[in-house]
Amino acid sequence: MLGLSSLWMTAGSMLFALVGALRLPRAAVLDSPSKRVRVSLPETLAAGTAFVPPGRSMAVFRDEDGVFAISTVCTHLGCIIKPTAEGFECPCHGSRFAADGSVTRGPAPQPLRWLKVSASGEQWIVDEAAVVPAGTKVNA
Amino acid sequence: MKSADASGSALGAFADNLRAAPRRIREGAFRGGAPHTDRTRSTFVFGNVFLHLHSVRVHRWSLRWWTTAGLGIASVAAFLITLVTGVLLMFYYKPYPDVAYASIKDIHFVVPTGRFMRNIHRWATNVMVVTVILHMARVFYTAAYRSPREFNWLIGLALLVTTLGLSFTGYLLPWDQLAYWAITIGANIAQSPREVTDALGVTDMFDPGGLQRLLLLGSDTVGPEALIRFYLLHVMILPLGLTMLLAVHFWRVRKDGGLARPSDADERLGPPAQTYPVFTEAPAKTYSLAAVVRGRTEAVNRGPENTLPSMPHLFYAELAVTMLTVAVCLALALVSDAPLREVANPLVPENPAKAPWYFLGLQELVSFSAFMGGIGIPAIVILGLALIPYLDREEVQTGDWWGGPGGWPLVRRSIAVGLGSVLALEAFAIRFGWLREWFPAIPQLVVTFVNPATILTLAYGAYSVWLVRRHASARAGALGLFTCFLCGFLVLTVIGTHFRGPNWVFYWSPADWPRH
């Protein structure tokens, strides 16, 4: 009886230690560079034409109502979508999005994310981590 | 004088012992002497840790070509080839982004025989995936999963999943465009439970998808952490797991009474030909202790008449299959190079971004819904497969190809049903689109649960239930369902591989792909 209970206690503590050890692979060190990007829009950028800052997965637009940025990460499986004349299209599984980011066909479960834009002098700061409601446009 | 004599004889004994050392090492390693007779061969098999995974004698039924078609051995052989070539590749491979790509390039273009080894590694993987799937089909169609072999069927399923896991983790390692985007998609499939939790609005509290992705990638993006994790899984955790599962799998084959065979196998085989050397020498001990064990083992109430010594009969067969597998892998590696695209670019996806071919059926499904195609339906399929031996408790025609009510005609009809429904649904979805195109504002949950993938699964399920009722047999339903899913897998894989082009649009031929 005593032996059996000590056996179970050993087994229990080893299991507990194992569960604790399994905590390790859950990424503890997250490499989190700043998600805020400084963007200079070209003077000649026409309304409805996307400006993609080099090295970033976003499309920045300017029209008469102001400046707005839409994430080009597909909401389906994370491929980088391409801005086209009508909106956006995803190369991986054929999702299509309208110019405002809403899904028009394909498997994407959600509209594209609109990113927070703020003015900074002549430039704009886009925060990839902050999502704003679709249709939010910012003026200088 | 006396001491000189003693030292002389001591030296002599020393020399004798030295001379005898090789013989003693040999005798110690292989107790029972050289395997010349049936008896010494039995002892040899029994006394060798690697060989004793086989029983000492094997039934003649198991040695017939079409009992197994050698598929299990071929999978093991392919696994061994990947082990050897994989270890060789590890001498040069460096698991860090961009450096990894350069090292694969080195292996491909600089290292002597490096390209050949990498090709063999890749082709052996493909051969392994094919033979594992065919091996499962063989076991299923000969009803060999039935009692007492249910548990080994589960082990086999675990081996299938591990095999797919090994090939998936290996796919990232070259760190080229193909690898990067396949893994991005894979990791987001792991995250796809969010499709449901987002629609229900509970992601902030309960987010299994995000956790799965975080565990897989070790980061928010596919980067160095993801690569080292995939590397660790690929060269350490999964191969170890696979090896352990394999040991249990083999051991259970033996403990469950060898391969499944019909109860009247002895009558059907007839008496053994006179030329078979059955017991050329009486056994000195009863190695077949199983004969006195109660329960359903092979040897209970049976004589050894229809069995043959594993050595050499079974070993020749295994060696032949292994040689064939090696030859096939070498031939394929000579004619076709493993692909290596441009170095991974996180800003521009490969278009079309395709996973390895055996996942393209799944990719076709996720192009309808990430969650149902990538997680829901695979989970249903695995669960269904796992349950088969516990639902089919029948005993008729175990060990016979297409055994069970309905037999081959039922399988034939199921092939027609399976192919017909998947082709019809795909043709409809390709021609007319799906709910999102017709009603852009439709709630996501509707699309998640009502799409060609789920409808196909339901149709197969309904057909199978109808078969169960019609034949009053779970086996009939299982035959229908397994055949249907095999057909579905085949058609979806072919469509995903050959008929999907840029933007996952349907094209009859890659020649029609737009140029850009």
Is B146 within a domain?
A: yes
Q: Of B350, B384, B408, which closes a domain?
A: B350
| Contacting residues of A for B444, CB less than 8 Å apart | 109-110
Report pLDDT for B118: 96
Contact B189, A77 (CB under 8 A): yes
Pairing of strands A96-98, A87-89: antiparallel
Condensed to tens digits (0 to 9), the pLDDT of residues B433-489 reads: 888 888 888 888 888 899 999 999 999 999 999 999 999 999 999 999 999 999 999
CATH, residue B96: 1.20.810.10
Describe the strand order of the beta sheet including A123-132 as a list of residue ranges: A36-39, A123-132, A114-120, A66-71, A58-63
Residue B50: HSE in the Cβ half-sphere, 13 Å Cα cutoff: 3
Predicted confidence at residue B280, as pLDDT, reads 46
How far is Cα B325 from Cα B75, in angstroms, rounded to an integer? 8
| Interface check B177 vs A, CB under 8 A | no
Q: Is there a domain that residue A81 lies in?
A: yes
Cβ neighbors of B225 (< 8 A, separation 6 or more) are A27, A31, B217, B218, B219
Residues B327 and B370 in one domain: no
**Where does a domain end: B350, B373, B397?**
B350
CB distance B218–A27 less than 8 Å?
Answer: yes
Q: Tens digits of per-residue pLDDT, B75-117?
A: 999 999 999 999 999 999 999 999 999 999 999 999 999 999 9
- Domain limits at A112? 36-132
Across B19-35, average pLDDT: 86
Size of interface A-B (CB pairs under 8 A): 100
Which residues span the domain enclosing B491?
353-516
Which pLDDT belongs to residue B304?
57
Q: ipTM score of the complex? A: 0.87
Residue by residue, pLDDT tens for chain A (140 residues) are 889 999 999 999 999 999 988 888 888 778 777 888 898 888 888 888 899 988 888 999 998 888 999 999 999 988 999 898 888 988 888 889 999 999 988 888 889 999 999 988 888 999 988 889 988 888 87
* Region B53-58 average pLDDT: 84
Chain-chain contact of A93 with B363 (C-beta, under 8 angstroms): yes
Q: Is residue B182 domain-shared with residue B257, that is, in the same domain?
A: yes
The Cα B225–Cα B233 span in angstroms is 12
Whether residue B296 is found in the same domain as residue B367: no
Note whether A111 contacts B: Cβ–Cβ < 8 A.
no
Q: Is residue A3 part of a domain?
A: no
How many domains is chain B partitioned into structurally? Answer: 2
Cα–Cα distance measured from residue B87 to residue B82, given in angstroms and rounded to the nearest whole number: 8
CB pair distance less than 8 Å for A92 and B349:
yes
> What is the number of other CB atoms lying within 10 angstroms of the CB of residue B285?
10
Whether residue B83 is contained in a domain is answered as yes
**What does the pLDDT average to over B164-192?**
91
Do B126 and B224 sit in the same domain of this protein?
yes
Percentage of chain B beyond pLDDT 70 is: 92
Q: In this predicted model, what pLDDT tens digit does every residue of B211-244 receive, in sequence order?
A: 899 888 988 888 999 999 999 999 999 999 999 9
Q: Tens digit of pLDDT for each residue in B120-158? A: 999 999 999 999 999 999 999 999 999 889 999 999 999
> Does residue B6 carry a pLDDT above 80?
no
Does B501 lie in the same domain as B369?
A: yes
CB atoms within 10 A of CB B447: 23
Same domain, B319 and B389: no
Whichever domain contains A62, its CATH number is 2.102.10.10
* B218 and B73, same domain (yes or no): yes
Cβ atoms of B370 and B188 closer than 8 Å:
yes
Q: Which of B298, B331, B350 is the last residue of a domain?
A: B350
B293 shares its domain with B366? no
Q: Find chain A residues with C-beta within 8 A of B436's C-beta.
A: 103-107
Q: What percent of chain B has pLDDT over 90?
A: 53
Mind listing the pLDDT tens digit for each residue in B263-312? 888 888 877 765 555 444 444 455 454 444 455 554 444 555 678 888 88
Assess whether B377 and B451 both reside in one domain.
Answer: yes
**Per-residue tokens: A82:** 């391409």
How many domains does chain A contain in total? 1
Contacts of B188 in chain A (CB under 8 A): 76-78
Question: In this complex, do B219 and A27 lie within 8 Å of one another by their Cβ atoms?
Answer: yes
**Same domain as B340, residue B373:** no
Residues of B in contact with A55 (CB under 8 A): 347
B29 inside domain: no
- State whether B342 and B272 are in the same domain: yes
